[in-house]
A and B are shown apart, each in its own frame.
Chain A
Amino acid sequence: MRQEQRAGRRAAKPVLILHVLGTVLAIGQAFAAATVLAAAFEGASLPIIALAVFGGLALVRAGLSYLTEQAAFASGAAARRRLRSDAMTRLLHAGPSLLRTHHSGDLATIVVDRIEALEGLFSHYVPAAAYAVAGPIVVLLAVLYADPWAALLLLGCGMVVPVGMAVAGIGAAAASRRQFLALARLQARFLDRVRGIATIVLYGRAQDEARAMARAAKDLRVRTMRVLRVAFLSSAVLDIAAALAMIVLAIHYFSDLRVASDAAFSAELWPALAVLLLAPEFFAPLRTYSAAYQDKLHATGAAESLIDLPPLPQPVVPAAEIRTVAARGVTVLFDGVDLIWDPTRGPALDGLSFKAAAGETLVLAGPSGAGKSSVIEILLGFVRPTGGKVTINGADITDLVPQALSRLTAWIGQRPVLFAGSIRDNILFARPEATAEEVAAAAHSARLDQFTEGLPQGLDTPIGESGYGLSGGQAQRVAIARAYLKNAPLLLLDEPTAHLDPATEKEVLESLARLAIGRTVILASHSSAAHGFGGRRLDMRDGKAVSARDAAKGAA
């Protein structure tokens, strides 16, 4: 967070420069206006040049204010872009194991909403904080030129602001923090209750909850206002300083000019006008800052969730870039492999050893929890074995860079995730550079075309968030088409028919059997239909391979 703010300060420099430039021009305008007004008092003719300067600078300042807004937006956008890419990279790198502990919707909220909430911090707060120091100094220099005494007074009043806030004890900062926290808590409770509204309604407790909500809001208001009543005193310090400066300056010039001789009047008129016109400019940056403080609080809440993100990936040095694959296919060897997800629950794999030769189909059988999926997840690189060794064509799987492993494997799980886009896009996901003919061939091989031909838009039919509109069997056929298109030598099937009714299961298994030809296949399934798939059978129980006889005994 602090590091980000430093980067943000660099990015906000153009905004700050534009702000300060605006203040310089405002000084020019104040001098010009003072000249015009002074001339009016003297009865001189209208100073056209000063008027023109005032008007010209007004135009430039208007343009400048537009540019400042644009620069502020750019600075905020740059920060959000950097943070979002960073968060997304971390999440993608942490990979599938994240889904065991987090809901994907919550992760998406971090990437989308929490980072959007940082907008105001980088576009408004960061430049305003610097401007609150630089702006008044620039104005002070101008006042010093017009009337050194007034500069001293303004400086005094300016210093009163931070000192006064500190003396008042809590400070404007604490005031808005309390108020913001109270609101945030109210908001969190409300969101929580609304998300759980089905639960509340079905337990018949909606009226009680509404009453409780009103009561909580009231408590919160009473407590918060008690704090705010004190805390607003310190916000009043800025008001007092600004009012005091104006009053003292006005009375000072009023008394001076009232008793001044004609000559002295002429000499003192211009500085008096200029200083009075400049005084509001002196306090303007402080006001901007205190307005932007809300943005900072809003962002601080959002940033807290970013801190918990997984670490950034270290650049992978391919230690021994695998001598990829022999043309003949892939041999998989498990040698005494252990895997522990959670130490309190015992191992998922416990000294598992087996070999799947090139072109062989190996069916992992056994009850749920026997460790079948863990075997597949190790081979996909979702998780590293805790002990033992897994080799693919003799190379240790932990030495493989993810891309190399991905080239070797095709995977079909229980329920494929389909992305927003057309059916074609979803097949192309397997290999984006594939030609239209290749996609059509893959769809045909997966028997997906039987279904898409009936659709008006065919393969280009859009499917929405998480494959809305496709049945389980159709979605699984898209996954098979992906595997055909990828054409990888090692095919990993993890309960591919678990969610299908028996008729669809049979059809999908037929398609899978065709896909299996010429590949090394590892199929995890407890479905009896899958065991008609052919191939060698490996019975598993409690993370170990067991003989078929033991397995039968265990099941009995």
Chain B
Amino acid sequence: MGPLSRILLLWTPQFLWLAAGVILSLAALEAGVALMAMSGYAIGAAVAGVLTLPVLLRAFGVSRVLLRYLERVTTHTATFRALADVRVWFFKSLARTGAGGLGFRQAGDVLSRLVGDVEALDGIYLRMVLPLAGAVMLLPAIVLLIAHRSAALATEIGVLFAVAAFVLPWVAMRASVRTGSGLAAEAGALRVAALDALTGLREVRAFAAEGRMLANVQAKEAGLFAAQQAMSGRTALAAAGAFLCAQLAVLAVLVDSGAHPAAAVAAAFLVLAAFEAISGLPRAGALAGHASAAARRVLEAADAPVPVPDPADPAAMPLGCGLRFEAVQFRWSADRPPVFDGLTLEVPEGARVALLGPSGAGKSTLAALALKVVAPRSGQILLGGTDIAFLPAALVRARIGWLGQATHLFDDTIRANLLLARPEADEVSLWAALDAARIGDLVRGLPDQLETWVGEGGTRFSGGQGRRLALARALLSPAPILILDEPCAGLDAETERSFLETLNETAAGRTVVLITHRLTGVERLDRIFRLSGGKAVAAAG
């Protein structure tokens, strides 16, 4: 429960709401159980002549309904508050630690999975904490109530209750932790099979492999289902076990009924209601195993070391905006070959430079280095003559506008997407940026103009239009240096040419680094470098 308790700690600011939710939930549970027990006792009371019974019944009934309502409102408010806290915390941690190490390397699916893990934490309060608190309260209550008549019976029922409420859910949690990794592996295999077939749709059609690919997906799915079935079978066994505990407890009451029939009826109803209240716990246990694994992954991502810590004593920001790489060595990890091995490269202020090279030559890594997303193992990167290692990352990034393949269009309006680059930009500069990116006319033609929603990942626009919106955003940013990483990836040839022609005019006066695997001939450039063998070689213009 280590990772789970750390998540619970995150909720400390909402303690009052959460606690109020627990108290109301316990009170509602108490009223519900009392109502049942009293209903059972009605018959005994008729014999014993207890006249207050109808009053008690009504009181418990009314409070049951009222408390349930208050419980629902309070626990949902508490849940919404806790959800928001966890998300904001996770986002801040990821922004600090991952800088986009992850986002920069286009690990969109890794991020999506992490978001799924955050989602898995949502049920902790409503589905685990509340029923568990209920069980903790009910155990001493029923034992004391029954011990009044018979200590032996109370012990029996107490043990059965503890098994159903604590032991079996714990077993289910262990099982779900154990099978959890197997389940994740099977789900991963299915994802790879589907992604393979869909990424390779061209290959699949060219080799008429549709049937084989479908069979492969079906086989991986069967593997996943087998693992899920094993898991669901274990949970079902735990649930059936808890059910048997409840039935054994009732049986114990029935066997013991001869001595105090009236008390026995009340006890039978009490036991039924109490066990009913905890019947979901084995399932919650299985869920806890799942949530605990999710919490571990979320915490790992949130606790990841800061890739490039800011200097404790930053140097003054230089005035110039030339970029210079000096003998830079870099590798993504120790077991991977170096990407750069003594890279030296000069981008003078105001120059337009192209960096060419095949995929894998480290073109995007170069952008990551300049933006302080990663740090070189040795060598220096100079901005206006000052080593960026001595400058705060935020200020370096304020100087450099970046348009990468992982540049994201947010599911928001065009205006909101543009303002990300310069929050104080006025209407005129927004339209100027859109016109510069050659998308102004298209936006003007839309009914909602700047308020048009761009859709998830910019899906309401075509790939080329989306890239132009992203370019408009980059142009809007006041940064004097623009690093454009494969800006034309995914554009057709015609759009590519017009995009590059736009760039020639609109980025005038700024330092431009164009990273691409080939030139089309329309770019206007001052220098061209080719990346090869971890070094930059000047190539003929």
Q: Say yes or no for A432: interface residue by CB 8 A criterion.
A: yes
Q: Is the pair A273, B265 in contact by a Cβ cutoff of 8 Å? A: yes
Contacting A213 at CB < 8 Å: which of B39, B87, B235, B456? B87
Q: Say yes or no for A514: interface residue by CB 8 A criterion.
A: no
Contacting A276 at CB < 8 Å: which of B42, B207, B243? B42
Given A62-B243, A217-B84, CB of A40 within 8 Å of CB of B397: no
Q: Which of A239-258 contact B (CB under 8 A)?
A: 239-240, 243-244, 246-247, 249-251, 253-258
Contacting A69 at CB < 8 Å: which of B40, B80, B235, B251? B235
Q: Say yes or no for B203: interface residue by CB 8 A criterion.
A: yes
Q: A109 to chain B: closest CB distance in Å? A: 8
Q: Say yes or no for B205: interface residue by CB 8 A criterion.
A: yes
Q: Say yes or no for A457: interface residue by CB 8 A criterion.
A: no
Q: Say yes or no for A471: interface residue by CB 8 A criterion.
A: yes
Closest to A244 in B: B61
Stretch at the interface among B94-102, B152-160, B339-347: B94-102
Given A37-B264, A195-B111, A254-B46, CB of A247 within 8 Å of CB of B69: no
Closest to A341 in B: B492
Contacting A368 at CB < 8 Å: which of B112, B213, B496? B496
Closest to A119 in B: B228
Given A190-B91, A198-B99, CB of A108 within 8 Å of CB of B195: yes
Q: Is the pair A247, B421 in contact by a Cβ cutoff of 8 Å? A: no
Q: Is the pair A201, B208 in contact by a Cβ cutoff of 8 Å? A: no
Q: Say yes or no for A461: interface residue by CB 8 A criterion.
A: no
Q: Is the pair A73, B411 in contact by a Cβ cutoff of 8 Å? A: no
Size range of the chain B interface in the assembly? 35 or more
Q: Is the pair A70, B233 in contact by a Cβ cutoff of 8 Å? A: yes
Q: Is the pair A202, B402 in contact by a Cβ cutoff of 8 Å? A: yes
Q: Say yes or no for B209: interface residue by CB 8 A criterion.
A: yes
Q: Is the pair A210, B88 in contact by a Cβ cutoff of 8 Å? A: yes
Q: Say yes or no for B185: interface residue by CB 8 A criterion.
A: no
Q: Is the pair A420, B57 in contact by a Cβ cutoff of 8 Å? A: no
Contacting B203 at CB < 8 Å: which of A91, A403, A417? A417
Q: Say yes or no for B457: interface residue by CB 8 A criterion.
A: yes
Given A84-B221, A254-B43, CB of A58 within 8 Å of CB of B251: yes
Q: Say yes or no for B24: interface residue by CB 8 A criterion.
A: no
Given A37-B265, A236-B65, A417-B200, CB of A190 within 8 Å of CB of B210: no
Q: Is the pair A65, B236 in contact by a Cβ cutoff of 8 Å? A: yes
Query: How does the 8 Å CB contact mask read for A258-287 relative to B, with 1 for contact and 0 for none?
Result: 100000000001001100110110000000
Contacting A108 at CB < 8 Å: which of B68, B198, B240, B268? B198
Measured CA separation A204–B479 after assembly (Å): 12
Q: Say yes or no for B204: interface residue by CB 8 A criterion.
A: yes
Q: Is the pair A247, B58 in contact by a Cβ cutoff of 8 Å? A: yes
Q: B400 to chain A: closest CB distance in Å? A: 8
Q: Is the pair A417, B83 in contact by a Cβ cutoff of 8 Å? A: no
Write out the residue numbers on chain B whose beta carbons fall within 8 Å of the beta carbon of A247. 35, 39, 57-58, 61
Q: Say yes or no for A7: interface residue by CB 8 A criterion.
A: no
Write out the residue numbers on chain A whose beta carbons fall within 8 Å of the beta carbon of B64. 239, 243
Measured CA separation A69–B248 after assembly (Å): 21
Q: A363 to chain B: closest CB distance in Å? A: 18
Contacting A37 at CB < 8 Å: which of B76, B84, B201, B257? B257
Q: Which of B75-133 contact A (CB under 8 A)?
A: 76-77, 80-81, 83-84, 87-88, 90-92, 94-96, 98-100, 102-104, 108-109, 111-112, 114-115, 118-119, 122
Write out the residue numbers on chain A whose beta carbons fall within 8 Å of the beta carbon of B406. 198-199
Q: Is the pair B207, A430 in contact by a Cβ cutoff of 8 Å? A: yes
Q: Is the pair B250, A33 in contact by a Cβ cutoff of 8 Å? A: yes
Stretch at the interface among A98-106, A160-168, A318-326, A529-537: A98-106
Q: A378 to chain B: closest CB distance in Å? A: 13
Q: Is the pair A204, B394 in contact by a Cβ cutoff of 8 Å? A: yes
Q: Which of A93-131 contact B (CB under 8 A)?
A: 93, 95-96, 98-99, 103-105, 107-109, 111-112, 116
Stretch at the interface among A8-16, A385-393, A405-413: A405-413
Given A93-B210, A202-B402, CB of A194 within 8 Å of CB of B115: yes
Write out the residue numbers on chain A whose beta carbons fall within 8 Å of the beta carbon of B240. 62-63, 65-66
Q: Say yes or no for A235: interface residue by CB 8 A criterion.
A: yes
Q: A499 to chain B: closest CB distance in Å? A: 5
Q: Is the pair A202, B202 in contact by a Cβ cutoff of 8 Å? A: no
Stretch at the interface among B3-11, B136-144, B186-194, B310-318: B186-194
Closest to B371 in A: A202
Q: Is the pair A88, B217 in contact by a Cβ cutoff of 8 Å? A: yes
Measured CA separation A54–B255 after assembly (Å): 11
Q: Say yes or no for A438: interface residue by CB 8 A criterion.
A: no
Q: Is the pair A46, B496 in contact by a Cβ cutoff of 8 Å? A: no
Q: Say yes or no for A509: interface residue by CB 8 A criterion.
A: no
Residue with the highest number of chain B CB atoms closer than 10 Å, among A80, A104, A244, A253:
A104
Stretch at the interface among B47-55, B323-331, B428-436, B443-451: B47-55
Q: A369 to chain B: closest CB distance in Å? A: 3
Q: Say yes or no for A506: interface residue by CB 8 A criterion.
A: no
Q: Is the pair B39, A104 in contact by a Cβ cutoff of 8 Å? A: no
Q: Is the pair A413, B358 in contact by a Cβ cutoff of 8 Å? A: no
Q: B90 to chain A: closest CB distance in Å? A: 8
Write out the residue numbers on chain A whose beta carbons fall within 8 Å of the beta carbon of B35. 243, 246-247
Contacting A198 at CB < 8 Å: which of B100, B248, B394? B100
Q: Say yes or no for A351: interface residue by CB 8 A criterion.
A: no
Q: Is the pair B197, A92 in contact by a Cβ cutoff of 8 Å? A: yes
Q: Say yes or no for B179: interface residue by CB 8 A criterion.
A: no
Q: A194 to chain B: closest CB distance in Å? A: 5
Write out the residue numbers on chain B whose beta carbons fall within 8 Å of the beta carbon of A93. 210
Closest to B38 in A: A250
Q: Is the pair B244, A59 in contact by a Cβ cutoff of 8 Å? A: yes
Measured CA separation A402–B199 after assembly (Å): 19
Write out the residue numbers on chain B whose beta carbons fall within 8 Å of the beta carbon of A487. none
Q: Which of B517-538 contact A (CB under 8 A)?
A: 517-518, 520, 532
Measured CA separation A37–B360 after assembly (Å): 80
Measured CA separation A193–B497 after assembly (Å): 31
Q: Is the pair B207, A429 in contact by a Cβ cutoff of 8 Å? A: yes
Q: Is the pair B49, A472 in contact by a Cβ cutoff of 8 Å? A: no
Q: Which of A418-439 contact B (CB under 8 A)?
A: 419-420, 429-430, 432
Q: Say yes or no for A306: interface residue by CB 8 A criterion.
A: no
Given A88-B194, A247-B58, A276-B39, CB of A55 within 8 Å of CB of B360: no
Q: Which of B13-54 contact A (CB under 8 A)?
A: 35-36, 38-40, 42-43, 45-47, 49, 53-54
Write out the residue numbers on chain B whose beta carbons fall within 8 Å of the beta carbon of A382. 202, 205
Q: Say yes or no for B494: interface residue by CB 8 A criterion.
A: yes
Given A198-B404, A257-B47, CB of A66 within 8 Å of CB of B100: no
Sample 14 A-B pairs with CB under 8 A, ordered by A number.
Answer: A54-B250, A58-B244, A63-B240, A69-B235, A70-B232, A88-B197, A92-B197, A112-B191, A198-B406, A213-B91, A217-B88, A239-B64, A406-B207, A413-B202
Binding site for B on A (CB under 8 A): 29, 33, 36-37, 40-41, 46, 51, 54-55, 58-59, 61-63, 65-66, 69-70, 73, 77, 80-81, 84-85, 88-89, 91-93, 95-96, 98-99, 103-105, 107-109, 111-112, 116, 179, 182-183, 186-206, 208-210, 213-214, 217-218, 220-221, 224-225, 228-229, 232-233, 235-236, 239-240, 243-244, 246-247, 249-251, 253-258, 269, 272-273, 276-277, 279-280, 345, 367-369, 380-382, 402-403, 406-407, 409-411, 413, 415-417, 419-420, 429-430, 432, 465-466, 471-472, 482, 486, 498-501, 504
> 3 smallest A-B Cβ distances: which pairs?
A196-B408, A198-B103, A198-B100
6 extra interchain contacts, Cβ-Cβ under 8 A, other than A95-B201, A209-B91? A41-B262, A63-B240, A104-B199, A197-B103, A213-B84, A251-B57
